[in-house]
């Protein structure tokens, strides 16, 4: 398993602004993932972030809106840009730690006014 | 289209009343099926991985089983601390992509 922390744990932001979410892991991992969990809905994969390469985005998510950095094997950031109320959600990072198992951070609860 | 459906959406049980949660899936190719527990305000906590039909995994009061089209999470003699949302996810073959269901909200009453 892996111990994952996220900052901030929650935030309230104004529309049109941007927020950067940090994800820190206690061990080196190759693959990290960013998910969104909207109220009453399932987790949806935003992108996969591997160290040393560009993030791979899922259909419906674009780099201009959700830029991701992965500077080393223990850290990643997700920025939610030009926010609107529809971006209000819980954002989760996860890591591949095991054969196929993903382990999740505690999440960042974002509210956009 | 790859899809995961969980039922029921919500379940209320008396302490000690055993039951099962269902996860049915349609996927082009299944690498693995995963069960997670999620408490309010927290990230999902890994419970089980299942790879092939007929496989079973157990942990305390929980047992997960897998067939070719669905998985069950059996809860035996549940306690109030088992109250949580239980999530099912499938991993598509050849990728690391997880597709999640919407979860079952379980409430166990003392």
User: Considering CB atoms only, which of B31, B44, B97 is closest to A45?
Assistant: B97
Q: Residue A108: beta bridge partners?
A: A91
pLDDT above 80 for A1: no
Cβ separation B41–A109 shorter than 8 A? yes
Mean pLDDT of chain A: 94
Percentage of chain A surpassing pLDDT 90? 84
Query: CA–CA separation, A59 vs B28, rounded Å?
Result: 17
Cα separation, A18 vs A95, whole angstroms: 24
Per-residue pLDDT band at B1 (split at 50, 70, 90): confident
B53-93 pLDDT, tens per residue? Answer: 999 999 999 999 999 999 999 999 999 999 999 999 999 99
Taking an 8 Å cut-off on Cβ atoms, the answer to whether B32 and A44 are in contact is no
Residue among A40, A42, A105 minimizing CB distance to B100:
A42
For CA atoms A4, A8, A12, A14, give the dihedral sign: negative
């Amino acid at each position: 398993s892996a111990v994952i922390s996220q900052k901030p744990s929650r935030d309230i932001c104004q529309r049109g602004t941007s927020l950067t979410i940090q994800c820190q892991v206690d061990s080196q991992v190759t693959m990290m993932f960013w998910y969104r969990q909207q109220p009453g809905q399932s987790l949806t994969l935003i992108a996969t972030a591997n160290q040393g390469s560009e993030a791979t985005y899922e259909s419906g998510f674009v780099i201009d809106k959700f830029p991701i950095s992965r500077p080393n094997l223990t850290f990643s950031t997700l920025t939610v840009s030009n926010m609107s109320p529809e971006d209000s959600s819980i954002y989760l990072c996860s890591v591949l730690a095991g054969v196929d198992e993903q382990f999740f951070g505690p999440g960042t609860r974002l509210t956009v006014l | 289209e790859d899809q995961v459906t969980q039922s029921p959406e919500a379940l209320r049980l008396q302490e000690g009343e055993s039951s099962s949660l269902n996860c049915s899936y349609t996927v082009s190719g299944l690498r693995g099926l995963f069960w997670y527990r999620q408490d309010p305000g927290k990230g999902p906590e890994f419970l089980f991985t299942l790879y092939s039909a007929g496989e079973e995994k157990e942990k305390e009061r929980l047992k997960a089983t897998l067939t070719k089209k669905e998985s069950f999470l059996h809860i035996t003699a549940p306690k109030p601390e088992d109250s949580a949302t239980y999530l099912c996810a499938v991993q598509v073959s050849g990728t690391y992509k997880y597709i999640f269901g919407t979860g079952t909200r379980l409430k166990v009453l003392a």
